[in-house]
Structure 1
């Protein structure tokens, strides 16, 4: 009996130990699963933070490595009085081409019997001062002269930094796209990549615009014609010899017109004139005979 009791007691202890072990195993398994989920979340957060940090570092490194060269956009405005506006336009155009510049716009209008023209050219910055002196020397008078400069160095540096950061994000999205397995993930990555590439194109376009504007200065030139407009000389102001010549020519023309009219009349109405001549001659002969009879 004692042995039986002792055996049952040992069996109960064993069963209780097994239950406790199973509960402990389930608890540990649950804790391990929660821990794995937390690690996954933390890893994802760390990746995002690392991505933002990398982008920020790329911006800072780009700013530090950017050359400290000033980028200035120059604009020049002139209003000049010129004797020959058309010749001046041709001269400015030829000189612009010689300096490896180019013409942007030309226009001309007539106001109050005077020619006004406008030409816009872009000249390399290193040739701007010499070009302005040349056009001033060719003019009769400089009515207006204005030269301004706009510093776009900070904007260009910021664009370079943003471009480098966007390029980094683009490379990472391309890597994600290669490793993506689900169609939904692939679509999301493609949308994000399209937006990043659009931003890159906008930044590159703006940088090209600033490169061109800082390499070539814009010169806006307005030209006013100051040549003397000589009016036509009236007939009363002509010289005496010219007036005599014109009067003689007019008299000859009138005489020729009269003779031509008489000749045309005689030839054209000759049948009627012949009949009238015969009738008149007959009447004259009859009257003459009658007078002779009366005298005799």
Structure 2
């Protein structure tokens, strides 16, 4: 099954006093390049997230955004009661207040160290990780679903292009034997016209030898057989269970090379026309293959 390297996925999960959401975007790249960005205070998770994704993805430029929100309740707010009592005694002593005199408690609570801010506490990454991982895996599954859908569409398009090459190749194979016959006819006519002017006869053996040299020089049988073989291999890779864009890219290069050789050897305008059609189709295939994992 072919997989596109372009896609997008998102996921979210809720844990104990924690909510995590992940978003993944992927575009084509010959290699695997991952960039991770976590919410402030959770940057130490970046490496762990990247390592996990490297086990799930093979190629592409992947951008990952993970947002982590911690939820707090009143029970999480801790009061440093000894420090608060010390502040209270200091206020009474400095202000000359009795023990029963009213004091602005809200002002005391704002003094440094009285209230512990849970948002400033260092996160327990091991406790957070399962929730982050759940959101991340959801995003990866969503991404893979999109890449599979695009991969199926690309496979259909590639097969249609291969069929177009088949059609052009059949026309080339049908035309190939006629090239030598046409050359022999043209050569004979030119020689007869030229020699008649000088009353000279040409040896049939020499004519046959010349035609044989031409036939050998423009023989494209091996190239057409190899091109057919590459088309068969390409279809086989499309049908494999695992996506293999690099292999398809290699086969595409070989197809282009054989087509170039056919064009340079054939020495025929009609075959040249079909070669242009094949090369144009291979270029379309090459562009699509660059986006296959």
Fold-level similarity (TM above 0.5): no
What TM-score does the superposition give when structure 1 sets the normalisation length? 0.28
Q: Which has the higher helix share?
A: 1
- Higher-Rg structure is 1
